[in-house]
Structure 1
Amino acid sequence: MNFAIVGCGFIAKKHASAIDNINNAKLVAVCDKYPDAMNPYVEQYGAIPYGELSDMLKDHSIDIVCICTPSGLHAPIAEQVATAKKHIVLEKPIAMTIEETDRIIKAANENDVKLAVVHPNRFRPVVQELRAIFDSGALGKISHANCIVNWNRNQEYYDQAPWRGTKEHDGGVLMNQAIHNLDLLLWFMGKPVEVFSMEATRLRNIEAEDVSTGIIRFESGALANVQASTTVYPRNFEESITIFGEKGTVKIGGPNALYFDHIQIEGYGEEKIKSITEKINTDPWGIPGHQQIISDIIQAVKENTQPAVTGLDGKNALELVLAFYESANKNIPIQY
């Protein structure tokens, strides 16, 4: 299938590399308002450069468009792409508001195009293994969970582009970094019914938050603690999810949540635990998440099925972030 990329910033490189590593997938076009940003994709992949999205969308050979623009621009671009009958791979967050999100989902549905949202952490080998353990029921009734993202994003990172750290186009640590982990939390824990959050902008010169902490109550009755920051010195310190059940406790962690830090489950002997952890340790990254997302939407188009991470999944993660923001702003618990 033929792909195009809109927005040739940092994340576009991952999309281009993923497309290049998939058989029968080809990057045929790129679009950006800055010609110099498109040059690497023209030179390396032979992509046709376009300064205007409307011109690029006239190319009938394009099957799928990857949207890699600042988050605040997702909605109008996705609507335009859907109207042109092109399938969509949309970087996280799906949008900045629920109203924008609903417009995107509606446009995709009305034009019968597939919409995949980029939450690639679901495809990490350790996450897939945890999902298998979770689905087996080995942990029993879930009591609570911890979700931690203590990372470093220095001021230079935010100064790379004027939209970074703004509330209109980017958001803070919850919207930009921890939203991947919140997606995983929802994937495991189900529907939230109540959140309470506090946030602050402590060390970075940005409009949005650089540190956040919150609590979630789920429909099941289980609770979760969430802590996220971009203020950790001098590098990423911890990305982890821990699930506590009546028959077991499992933590995936490390600086990038790639390994099992702890497995203790009723009926799991030392050999079984060693086998699970060693399997992950041999290839912790696995096939890159963006490649998995793009392979998945190709399959969804061919088989007319839903992508693994749908527009609704993207909306659920965004709703949780926005509920955290509302709680922190009003200093009250927010009911779903």
Structure 2
Amino acid sequence: MNFAIVGCGFIAKKHALAISQIEGAKLVSVCDKVSTAMEYYILEYGAYAYTNIEDMLQNEVIDVVCICTPSGFHASLAVQLANAKKHIIVEKPIAMNLDDTERIIEACKDNNVKLTVVHPNRYRPVVKLLKNILDEDLLGKISHANATVNWNRNQEYYDQAQWRGTKEYDGGVLMNQAIHNLDLLLWFLGRPDQVFSYEATRLRNIEAEDVSIGVIKFESGVLSTVEASSTVYPKNFEESITIFGEKGTIKIGGPNALYLEHLEIEGKSQSEIELLKESIRKDPWGTPGHQLLIEDMIYAIKNNRLPSVTGEEGKMVLKLVLDFYKSAMTNQPIQFIKEKEYVVN
């Protein structure tokens, strides 16, 4: 399949590398308003470069387009590409508001094209292990959980581009970094019922938040805390998810939530647990999540099934972030309104 990338910043390199590792996939073109941003892809992958997306669509045979632009541009590009009958891989978040998200989803449905949102952490070995433990009900009834992202994004990071840290085009730590962990909480624990949150901008000179503390009550009754920050000195400190059940406790953690930090399950011996921990330590990253997500999109197209991460799931986690923001703004709990059934695999 022929791929194109729109937006040639940092994250686009992960897409390009992933495409190059997949048999039968080829990066044929890239598009960016800044011509110098595309030089790497021309030299490294032989891609044709365009500063105008209409020219690229007219001149190239493209099956799938990866949208890697600032988040505020996702919606307009996705609708345009869907109308051009291109399958779409869009970086998180799917959009910056629910109206734009609906436009994307409807355009893809109307044009019968596939849509997936980039949440590659689902493919990490330790995350897949945790999901299997939950699916097999090894922890029993879940009482509560917590997700933590205490990272460093210094002022230089935000000063790289004018759109970084803005509410219109980027968002803060919750929308940008912790959205992956929120996606995992939804994947693990199901639909939220109510949220409450405090947001603050403490240390970074940005419009959006650099610290967020929140609580989720799930429809199942599970309670979860969410702590996120981009203010930690001097580097990433912790990314973790902990789940507490009646028959066990599991924590995945480290600076990037790659390791099995704690596991106790009724009936499992210490030697069994140590073997699981060691299996994760040997290859904590596994196959890159971007590669597996793109491979899944190819399989979904060929077999006419939904991608593993659907547009509706992208909408669900975006709504959760927006409800956190609304709660912080109003200082009130926010009911997670059941607008429609979401597709959750």
Say whether the 8 Å CA contact 2:242–2:252 is kept in structure 1: yes
State the match for 1:35 in structure 2: 35
Per the alignment, residue 199 of structure 1 pairs with 199
Give a deviation string over 1:227-257, Cα, whole Å, max 9, x none.
Answer: 0000000000000000000110000000000
Deviation at 1:274, TM superposition (A): 1.1
CA distance in 2, matches of 1:106, 1:142: 35
Alignment of 1:180-259 (within 5 A): 180-259=180-259
Amino acid at match of 2:6: V
Q: Specify the alignment match of 1:127 in structure 2.
A: 127
Aligned 1:260-275 pairs, distance under 5 A: 260-275=260-275
Supply the AA of the counterpart residue of 2:233.
Answer: Y
Q: In structure 2, what is the Cα distance between the partners aligned to 1:281 and 1:43?
A: 35
User: Identical aligned pairs, as a percentage?
Assistant: 67
Give 1:54 deviation, angstroms. Answer: 1.1
For 1:88, what is the secondary structure of its paired residue?
Answer: strand
Distance in 2 between residues matched to 1:277 and 1:134, nearest whole Å: 17
Cα distance in 1 for partners of 2:175, 2:216 equals 16
Structure 1 CA distance, aligned partners of 2:299 and 2:209? Answer: 38
Which residue is 1:17 aligned to?
17
> Which residue does the alignment assign to 1:141?
141
Give unpaired runs (5+ residues) of structure 2.
337-345
* Residue in 1 that maps onto 2:98: 98
RMSD: 0.6
Letter of the 1:296 partner, please give it: D
C-alpha deviation, 1:113, in angstroms: 0.4
Q: Does 1:175 align with 2:175?
A: yes
Counterpart Cα distance in 1 of 2:156 and 2:15: 24
Q: CA deviation at 1:137?
A: 0.6
> 1:114 maps to which residue?
114
Match for 1:268: what amino acid? Answer: K
Shift of 1:272: 1.1
Q: How many residues align?
A: 336
Q: Give the Cα separation in 2 of the matches to 1:7 and 1:55.
A: 15
In structure 2, what residue type is equivalent to 1:18?
A
> Secondary structure of the residue that 2:185 maps to in structure 1?
helix
SS in 1 for 2:102: helix
Deviation (angstroms), 1:59: 3.8
Deviation at 1:114, TM superposition (A): 0.5
Is the contact between residue 29 and residue 60 of structure 2 (CA under 8 Å) also seen in structure 1? no
> Which amino acid counterpart does residue 123 of structure 2 have in structure 1?
F
Q: Please give the secondary structure, in 2, of the residue aligned with 1:193.
A: strand
Separation in 2 of the partners of 1:193 and 1:58? 46
What SS does the corresponding residue of 1:166 show, helix, strand or coil? Answer: coil
Query: What amino acid sits opposite 1:91 in the alignment?
Result: E
Secondary structure of the structure 1 residue equivalent to 2:178: helix
State the one-letter code of the partner of 1:302: K
Match of 2:283 in 1: 283
What secondary structure is seen at the aligned counterpart in 2 of 1:272? helix
CA distance in 2, matches of 1:290, 1:57: 24
Query: What are the within-5 Å matches in structure 2 for residues 148-167 of structure 1?
Result: 148-167=148-167
- TM-score where L is the length of structure 1: 0.99
2:176 corresponds to which letter in structure 1? N
1:197-249 superposed Cα distances (whole Å, 9 cap, x missing partner): 00100000000000000000000011000000000000000000000001100
Question: Hey, what does 2:341 align to over in structure 1?
Answer: none
* Corresponding residue for residue 66 of structure 1: 66
CA contact (8 A) 2:215 2:225 kept: yes
Q: Tell me how far apart the structure 1 counterparts of residues 302 and 165 of structure 2 sit (CA, whole Å).
A: 38
Alpha-carbon distance, 1:95 to partner: 0.2
**Structure 1 segment 48-67 matched on structure 2, within 5 A:** 48-59=48-59, 61-67=61-67
Residue type at the aligned position of 1:260: L
Deviation at 1:60, TM superposition (A): 5.2
2-structure distance, mates of 1:74, 1:146: 30
> For the residues of structure 1 that align with 2:86 and 2:59, how far apart are their CA atoms?
10
User: Which ranges of 4 or more aligned residues in structure 1 deviate by more than 4 Å?
Assistant: none
3-state SS in 2 of match to 1:242: strand
Q: Over residues 118-161 of structure 1, what are the superposed CA-to-partner deviations in whole Å (9 max), with x where a residue is unaligned? A: 00000000000111111111100010100000000000000011
Q: Secondary structure at the match of 2:3?
A: strand
Partner Cα separation in structure 2 for residue 307 and residue 155 of structure 1:
36
Please give the alpha-carbon distance, in whole angstroms, between the structure 2 residues aligned to 1:58 and 1:180.
Answer: 35
DSSP-derived class of the 1:215 partner? strand
Partner of 2:342: none
- Relative to 1, partners in 2 of residues 1:15 and 1:4: Cα closer, same or farther, differing over 3 Å? same
> For residue 82 of structure 1, what is the aligned residue in structure 2?
82
Q: Distance in 2 between matches of 1:307 and 1:58?
A: 27
Tell me which amino acid in the other structure corresponds to 2:32.
Answer: D
Q: Distance in 2 between matches of 1:121 and 1:234?
A: 24
AA aligned to 1:270 is: Q
